[in-house]
Amino acid sequence: MLLKNIKWKQLLPYVIIPVFLIIMLTTMLSRTTQKKTEYYQLVNMFLNDEIAEYSLNLTSGDMKYKTRKEPNIERSYTVPNVTMFIEDVHKYVVEHNKERPESEQVKFDYIAGTSGAWIINLVPILAFCVILLFGIFFVSKRMDQTIANESSRALSFGKARVKLGKDDKRKTTFADVAGAEEEKEELVEIVEFLKDPGRFSQLGARIPKGVLLVGPPGTGKTLLSRAVAGEANVPFYSISGSDFLEMYVGVGAARVRDLFNQAKKSAPCIVFIDEIDAVGRHRGAGMGGGHDEREQTLNQLLVEMDGFVENEGVIVLAATNRPDILDPALLRPGRFDRQITVGYPDAKGREEILRVHSRKKPLAPDVDLGVIARSTVGFTGADLENLLNEAALLAARRKKRAITMAEIEEATVKVLVGAEKRSKKQSEKDRKLTAYHEAGHAVVSYFLETQDPVHQISIIARGMAGGYTMSVPKEDRSYTSKSSMIEDIVELLGGRIAEALIIGDISTGASNDIERATDIARKMVTRYGMSETLGPIAFGTGHDEVFLGKEYGTIRNYSELTASEIDNEINRIITNAYNRGKEILSDNVHKLHLVANALLEFEKISGEDFKRLMDAKNEEEENEVLESMRTAPKGSTGTTLYSYHTKKAKEEELLKQFKDEVTNTEKEAAEPETAKDTEPAPENAAESEKEDAEDSEEK
């Protein structure tokens, strides 16, 4: 099995290289032997009487000779064929010596020596053998190493892939966590117990075995866990829930055992399991009623957290954004004794988060973090960090040395809606339809009491939207009323109503609006019990997402007749909202045309300009507003996202100052009267006491 895991493609270079070297060596040797191929030239030298003497080895064919022109220089030559050389030259040399005197004769000598040609022929074979042996040795060594690695991997397959947090340079502390004061207090308690357990044990207190951090994505669950690791001077083991799961049966349970064995050896310590819902899902039948690997892993985790063997000093931290799918056995006291909800931060928390993330970012004097915090309702810590990062990127793109409010304005719109697509060309028909669609949203929202004020309207495409009408909440809300939800539906249908009222046709641009409106109406009827016909009854299971093992195969808890009534009630809510929105736009069609034409001219309108247009009482005032928008600096229109909150903050400050002045004036006016009324009293009292004393002495 281990040999099958060896990739033979890795061994290919070790076969190709020896073959290449052999070919090169053979070529070089052949070139060496075939270098002197001018045999005919040598024979011609003999025929032309240029050779003075020579000696020839009859076995090897090595010949040494001297010419008559250079008798002192001995040259070498290898005769390719000795027999042929003797036939061509020897007879001529003998006849030449007979005809010439002794001084002109050619001296020759034939040597019967041993041949070394076989050694030369054996060189390629020997080189091939050496290279082949080297290759076999190297390949076998690599195979042994691979087998050893595979063996060690197989033996360590059940080891937990934990990370031990010991990095002091990048240590996260509670000072880096903002907007979660109550959550930090509960975790500080755990850190203090680990540092000084005696203070708690004296009172009979038991530290929680497990703490589950629950909250939406981006609220800082993992950051809080990292802060615990930074604050506690104990080992901190971190692992993801997905690291327990493998395709092999029993690996997850083995890794859970190994994780807690490691933790017990270094107790007291903290074990952090991120995204525990990957392994802690509700145990159920599944598709075929089987017992899968996830359940085995979960069973082992349950045993390790609260089984027969106590894990003293081992505290388990876990984070998830899906607590609804966790197994009830995992959530009971003794395993996860404490659940900490990490929710969306409020205005104060958002301001603290912005201060943390803006430490290393240069901010311009016009940046007010409090104003940004009040205008970013619903933002998580991750959203705020992304907001400041986008603003920094925009400032760098514009070659600014500091981040101004304009960059934060643009970054906020970019985060909420998406990046502008000015290069996207639209026809005049599409621009007109988009303008009336967005104007319909804005005008309807203006006449609804519960709706947030409009802060920006645009017909420039952003993200997936051809245009947008953006409203920013004035304050944080914990609950939503029935009237507010109904008016939300009216506002969502405003775009579709404007299309039908002005254009005379409807488009697909309102698909998302209709989907959201229908979802709100359905939740009003089935979840919140806001239907007058059906009453305060919740219909359905109350779970939005179906996942294998919990809701598979379940049926709805209401009849077909009730389902029909639910559909009718949803239809009634949507129809009434549509009629109400149509009535608003029909009564204010002039304002609808005014806002739509302004959008066609400027493409973007700020919330202040929109309010001025709506508040204008006659045509003259409307023209004044439009003229001021035309003469405004380029780029200033539509960049007042925080104007409402800034104006409101200034108004509140002025109102407070006015109240303080009124209070001080009232106090000053009241002080003399109080003095006149109260001053005689002490004197009269003193005199009466003196008279009483004198009377008692006389008596």
**Which DSSP string do the residues of 144-174 spell out, in sequence order?**
HHHHHHHHHHHHTTTS---EE---STT---G
Residue 242, Cβ density class (10 Å: 0-12 exposed, 13-18 middle, ≥19 buried): exposed
Q: Work out whether the CA dihedral 283, 289, 294, 300 comes out positive or negative.
A: positive
Residue 368 to residue 100: CA distance in whole angstroms: 121
Which two three-digit tokens encode residue 459? 């017909």
Is 691 marked active-site? no
Neighbours of 263 (CB within 10 A): 23
Strands 236-240 and 75-78: unpaired
DSSP state letter for 323: G
Residue 244 to residue 255: CA distance in whole angstroms: 6
Residue 136 to residue 140: CA distance in whole angstroms: 6
> Among candidates 172, 273, 294, which has minimal Cα distance to 213?
273
**Which DSSP string do the residues of 479-532 spell out, in sequence order?**
---HHHHHHHHHHHHHHHHHIIIIISS--GGGHHHHHHHHHHHHHHHHTS--BT
Task: Please state the separation of Cα 261 from the chain's center in Å.
Answer: 32
H or E segment and range at residue 310 = none
579-618 burial: b if 16+ Cβ within 10 Å, else e: ebbbebbeebeebbebbbebbbebbbbbbbbbbbbbebee
Which two three-digit tokens encode residue 656? 């407070």
C-alpha R_g of the chain: 47
For the chain, first and last CA: distance in Å?
A: 125
Residue 35 to residue 44: CA distance in whole angstroms: 19
H or E segment and range at residue 62 = strand 62-67
Choose, from 304, 409, 438, 569, the residue flagged as catalytic: 438
> Among candidates 612, 278, 585, which has minimal Cα distance to 438?
585
Residue 498 to residue 514: CA distance in whole angstroms: 14
Q: Which amino acid is at 691?
A: E
CA angle 376, 382, 385 (to 5 degrees): 75
Which two three-digit tokens encode residue 241? 């829930």
Contact 106, 52 (CB under 8 A): yes
Residue 231 to residue 225: CA distance in whole angstroms: 10
The SS3 of residue 109 is: strand
Strands 163-164 and 236-240: antiparallel
Which two three-digit tokens encode residue 444? 């309807």
The SS3 of residue 216 is: coil
Q: Indicate which residues carry an active-site annotation.
A: 438
